[in-house]
Amino acid sequence: MFARHFIDSLDFAFKGSEILGEVPLTEMPRLQDKLAVPEGKISYMVRGLHDKNGMPMLEVALTGLCQLRCQRCLEKLDYPIQLSSRLLLVQESELDEFSSEEDEQDSIPADKHLDVLALIEDEILLSLPFAAVHPSGTCQLVANGSDRSEKSPFAVLAGLKNK
């Protein structure tokens, strides 16, 4: 059973805390919708730190493999997850101020009870391609020479059947 972590995000950043672990993909219901196969797991590292201006941040690093569905042939598609992002922790009262600045930094609201699993799931969802397809040459439809149009009517039909 996966132990769900909740952290006080600002405190976590100030102390430079770090947690490491693995989470099965089955623990991420929103991600499940995107997957062809529910199996797999993600290794994660969440670390608290400060940027050069002393602003509290969380660094999230994830590695793993999930299986998406190719939007062309609808077969499984191995999709490696390897991402690392730094998220500025912003107090509720500062949100407006920050969004008006031309700061490229991703930010999340500071939370005393931050759900680490939800954060990980968000990061993965954000990183997934809108429509995953096999690289040309390995896709079934392309190999069969039936990929005449951008979106094969067969793939569309099969997609409807799966709904």
Closest CA to 7 of 91, 119, 114, 123: 114
Residue type, 100: S
The least CB distance from residue 147 to Zn ion, in Å, is 9
The least CB distance from residue 62 to Zn ion, in Å, is 24
The least CB distance from residue 144 to Zn ion, in Å, is 10
Q: Which is nearer to Zn ion, 54 or 137 (CB)?
A: 137
Q: Which is nearer to Zn ion, 68 or 70 (CB)?
A: 70
* Structure tokens, 68: 């998406």
| Contact window for Zn ion (CB under 5 A) among 18-26, 71-79, 108-116, 154-162 | 71-79
150: left (phi over 0), alpha (psi -120 to 50) or beta: alpha
Q: Which is nearer to Zn ion, 35 or 87 (CB)?
A: 35
Count of chain residues binding Zn ion (CB under 5 A): 5
The least CB distance from residue 153 to Zn ion, in Å, is 15
Please list every residue from 96 through 135 that binds Zn ion, using CB under 5 A: 134
Instruction: Please tell me the distance from the alpha carbon of residue 8 to that of residue 12, in angstroms, as a whole number.
Output: 6
3-state helix, strand, coil in the chain (%, to 5): 30, 35, 35
Contact 105, 84 (CB under 8 A): no
Judged by CB under 5 A, the residue of 73, 89, 90, 110 near Zn ion is 73
Instruction: Please tell me the distance from the alpha carbon of residue 12 to that of residue 2, in angstroms, as a whole number.
Output: 21
Please list every residue from 11 through 70 that binds Zn ion, using CB under 5 A: 70
Judged by the rule CB under 5 A, the positions of this chain that interact with Zn ion are 70, 72-73, 134, 139
